[in-house]
Amino acid sequence: MIHRFTCRIYYEDTDFAGIVYYANYLKFIERARSEYVRELGLDQTATKRDTGVVFAVRRVEADYLSPARFDDVIEVRTAPIKASAAQIVLDQSIWLDDRALFQSQVTLVALKPNGRPTRLPKVLVDAAGRTAPSDP
């Protein structure tokens, strides 16, 4: 399953050259991840309130392929690569029409209130695992 999230590029997203500032791509994929998790049926606010568990990015690998510009409507595509009780690895890319602008691989973990790692919620692992390709 590929989750798709669209958003428009606003002036505030761009730099002096009129292209999207590189760090803002991370904001776009963060928004898309939040929507992806929501569509999997996990309420992050309730999870934090009820268990104290929050999600954190452990690792990001990013390739900037081509710039987005003011007023472009981009699509962030999110797909699980693999899931375990300890972490989920997602492929996240940003597209403008049929052209890839940004490619990343993001590893998510869960943290207890004391900042220590904990198991990811089963509902999230199960849902992501059902949609992730099998390990070879």
Judge whether 15 counts as a catalytic residue.
yes
CA dist 126 and 66 (Å) reads 34
Is pLDDT at 62 greater than 70 in this prediction? yes
- Tokens 């693999």 belong to 82
Q: Is 127 helix (H, G, I), strand (E, B) or coil?
A: helix
The CATH number given to whatever domain includes residue 94 is: 3.10.129.10
Assess if residue 69 is contained within a domain.
yes
Q: Which domain holds residue 42?
A: 3-131
Please list, residue by residue across 99-134, b when 16 or more beta carbons sit within 10 angstroms of its beta carbon and e when fewer do: eebbbbebbbbbeeeeeeebebbeebbebbbeebee
Q: What CA–CA distance (Å, rounded) separates 101 from 25?
A: 10
pLDDT at 124: 79
Look at residue 136 and tell me if it is in a domain: no
Cα 74 to the chain's mean position, in Å?
15
Asked whether residue 13 is domain-assigned, the answer is yes
Residue at 39 is within a domain: yes
In a domain, 54, yes or no: yes
Q: Is residue 38 part of a domain?
A: yes
Is 81 part of a structural domain of the chain? yes
Give the DSSP H/E element, type plus range, for residue 38. Answer: helix 24-39
Which tokens is 61 given? 């690998």
pLDDT tens digits, one per residue of 76-116: 999 999 989 999 999 999 999 999 999 999 999 999 999 99
The single residue of 15, 43, 63, 71 carrying the catalytic annotation is: 15
Q: What total of structural domains would you count in the chain? A: 1
Query: pLDDT exceeding 70 applies to what percent of the chain?
Result: 95
- Kindly state the average pLDDT of the residues 16-45: 94
Domain annotation covers residue 47: yes
